[in-house]
Amino acid sequence: MSASGGTMWTSIFVILACFMPNALFEETKEHPTIGIVGGGIGGTSTAYFLRQLFGKNAKIDIFEKKQVGGRLVTTNIGDNEIEAGGTLIHPQNMYMVNFTKLLGLEQLSLGEGSFGIFDGSSMRIKSSKYRLATLAKLFWRYGMDIYNIDSWINDKLLSKFMRIYDIQRAGHAYTTVPDLIGAMDSSFVSYMKKSIKFVMKTSGFGDTFIDEMVMGALRTNYGQNTEIPGFVGAVSLAGVQPGLWAVKGGNKQVPQKLVSEAQAQVIPGTVVSVQLLQYEGKNYRVGYFDEEKKEQQKDYDIVVIATPLHDEVSDIDFEDFPSTIENFPQKFHRLTATFVEGKPNPKYYDVDDIADLPEAILTCNDTILVNSQDKKADVFGKPTDVYKFFSNTPPSEDDVKQMFTSKNDIRMVTAMAYPDYSTVGEELPPFVLHDQLYYVNAIELAASAMEMSSIAGKNVALLAYNHWHGNLDKIDEPFVDPLSEKDKTEL
């Protein structure tokens, strides 16, 4: 199925739902059976929100072929456990904040250390151990841009982004990604169609700041450059603001504990098919191979796909649908995280002494191997001698020898981590693939982050609930904040 086909289907299903009798909307069917394919933060947050909406009698299964947590993983190197997947959480990511409190977890503050920006041959800028000296350096190189960026992120992104929590609290849901993003603010839709470089230049930022600071943020967060769409670029920039945190003991605890909170059953296995059933009763049959490689199947009223429907990531056959559903054409970006317990070579970064090597190094040249490097604490905040560097291709043994003067241990984690945003077009996958068949990971083509997946999880849960009960006034309808200044004036 093409992305444009998905948009067409969404419109057809909503129209049909208005005029055709459907057993899904009968008052007698209060407690659906729900199958969720994928146990990452998207799938587990969807399960949690579905449980809140449908109550204790709904049956929720989560199919997971590896481990609950998805791309939230840790790796063990030496005697240390280190975050190897999604790492940073913004203080205004309200779902992740609330999940942490709900699940009895603790926030681990990620303190600000020394930093530098490397261009492949020399350091463009390097922080000082004295804060005022660092500010002077930044101002000398970037002028007012270094002061304006914080207000730009807060005013142009976060203040508008936060609107989504009021929208979802009111029960509103959207069938397409642009409609969900546009509900936050219409400017976000235009950001999705322009590069972050264009968006920031038209906002008054200079080339030096964009080519160094912005490029560095994008390379460490997504392994990509300033030609990616403006919305995901802005989300990436929020990921370098102060106050960032992680979950003490590992971020993967959130999806793991959400399973219990959602009272969901985890079914270990690889889903290979979703069949549209033609008889009355259940709507879908999920086919899967269990841990013993035996073929199994289960039937559901509602199915949620919470894994990327993209080549090299997913291989699910959708059977007996009136129109073909296939993987979407956008590509995923392969990223390698290399963990080395040892001593880095400062001369690799044009620094004379290891004592002067920044703890966090961003790179502003997309032709070099290293996207970024930083010294890691373990998942409990204990300092270590472990360094992590990101690269778009796996490093060779010779690369590691050049970068480190000694090493005690090394680990390498390669994954299809994020969408390749250079391949993202204007048409994005829909949240609705068919009647009562939903796609959480559609959100990743707008921006990939733990909070974005949780927002998509809440949106899909609301879509499922509103479709089930026929609450069509809560689907794709404008949200009017009852506390807005306009409404106060009109009262």
Tokens encoding 91: 């203080």
> For position 110, what pLDDT does the model report?
85
Radius of gyration of the chain (CA): 23
**DSSP class per residue in 376-395:** EE-TTS-EEEEEEEEESSPP
Q: Is 168 part of any domain?
A: no
- Going by pLDDT thresholds of 50, 70 and 90, the confidence category of residue 396 is very high
Instruction: Tell whether the model's pLDDT for residue 355 goes beyond 70.
Output: yes
Burial of 367 (0-12, 13-18, 19+ CB in 10 A): exposed
Verify that 234 and 145 share a domain, yes or no: yes
Amino acid, single-letter form, for residue 281: G
- Going by pLDDT thresholds of 50, 70 and 90, the confidence category of residue 151 is very high
Instruction: Tell whether the model's pLDDT for residue 43 goes beyond 70.
Output: yes
Cβ-Cβ contacts under 8 Å for 49 (sequence gap 6 or more): 457, 458, 461, 462
Verify that 220 and 145 share a domain, yes or no: yes
Q: What number is the average pLDDT over the span 298-323?
A: 94
Q: Is 162 part of any domain?
A: no
- Going by pLDDT thresholds of 50, 70 and 90, the confidence category of residue 478 is confident
Q: What number is the average pLDDT over the span 427-450?
A: 94
> For position 479, what pLDDT does the model report?
82
Verify that 342 and 221 share a domain, yes or no: yes
> For position 487, what pLDDT does the model report?
44
Tokens encoding 358: 């920044």
- Domain of 348 in residue numbering reads as 108-156+189-249+331-421
Residue 394, number of CB atoms within 10 A of its CB = 12
- Give tens-digit pLDDT for 339-353: 999 999 999 999 999
Q: Is 68 helix (H, G, I), strand (E, B) or coil?
A: coil
Q: Secondary structure of 246-304 in the HEC alphabet?
A: EECCCCCHHHHHHHHHCCCEEEEEEEEEEEECCCCCCCEEEEEEECCCCEEEEEECEEE
Burial of 319 (0-12, 13-18, 19+ CB in 10 A): middle
CATH number at residue 280: 3.50.50.60
Instruction: Tell whether the model's pLDDT for residue 130 goes beyond 80.
Output: yes
Q: Give the relative orientation of helices 177-184 and 450-469 as an angle to the nearest 10 degrees.
A: 110
Q: Is 81 part of any domain?
A: no
Q: Is 485 part of any domain?
A: no
What distance, in Å, lies between the first and last C-alpha atoms of the chain?
48
Q: Within 13 Å and on the Cβ side, how many CA atoms surround 375? A: 21
- Give tens-digit pLDDT for 446-477: 999 999 999 999 999 999 999 999 999 999 98
Q: Is 482 part of any domain?
A: no
> For position 178, what pLDDT does the model report?
94
Q: Is 179 part of any domain?
A: no
Q: Is 1 helix (H, G, I), strand (E, B) or coil?
A: coil
> For position 10, what pLDDT does the model report?
39
Verify that 241 and 149 share a domain, yes or no: yes
> For position 134, what pLDDT does the model report?
92
Verify that 31 and 58 share a domain, yes or no: yes
In the chain, the number of structural domains is 2
Amino acid, single-letter form, for residue 421: Y
What element of type H or E holds 361?
Answer: strand 360-363
Residue 55, number of CB atoms within 10 A of its CB = 10
Portion of the chain with pLDDT greater than 90, in percent: 80
Verify that 300 and 449 share a domain, yes or no: yes
Dist CA 375 CA 384 (whole Å):
8
Dist CA 299 CA 315 (whole Å):
19
- Going by pLDDT thresholds of 50, 70 and 90, the confidence category of residue 7 is very low
Q: What number is the average pLDDT over the span 385-410?
A: 96
Q: Is 490 part of any domain?
A: no
Q: What number is the average pLDDT over the span 315-332?
A: 92
Residue 279 vs residue 293, higher pLDDT: 293
Verify that 270 and 386 share a domain, yes or no: no
Verify that 143 and 195 share a domain, yes or no: yes
- Our measurement of the distance from residue 72's CA atom to the centroid of its chain's CA atoms, rounded to an integer in Å, reads 10
Please state the pTM of the whole predicted model.
0.90
> For position 17, what pLDDT does the model report?
41
- The pair phi, psi for residue 326, each rounded to 5°, is -130, 170
Verify that 387 and 309 share a domain, yes or no: no
Instruction: Tell whether the model's pLDDT for residue 280 goes beyond 50.
Output: yes
> For position 417, what pLDDT does the model report?
87
Q: Is 431 part of any domain?
A: yes
What element of type H or E holds 35?
Answer: strand 33-37
Portion of the chain with pLDDT greater than 70, in percent: 91
Cβ-Cβ contacts under 8 Å for 30 (sequence gap 6 or more): 57
CB 218 within 8 A of CB 228: yes
Q: What number is the average pLDDT over the span 439-443?
A: 97
- Our measurement of the distance from residue 190's CA atom to the centroid of its chain's CA atoms, rounded to an integer in Å, reads 20
Tokens encoding 101: 């409190």
Verify that 228 and 151 share a domain, yes or no: yes
Dist CA 286 CA 284 (whole Å):
6
Alpha carbon distances (Å) from 64 to 184, 267, 440, 441 = 32, 6, 15, 15
The last residue of a domain, from among 400, 421, 442: 421
Verify that 243 and 271 share a domain, yes or no: no
Verify that 404 and 325 share a domain, yes or no: no
CB 63 within 8 A of CB 264: no
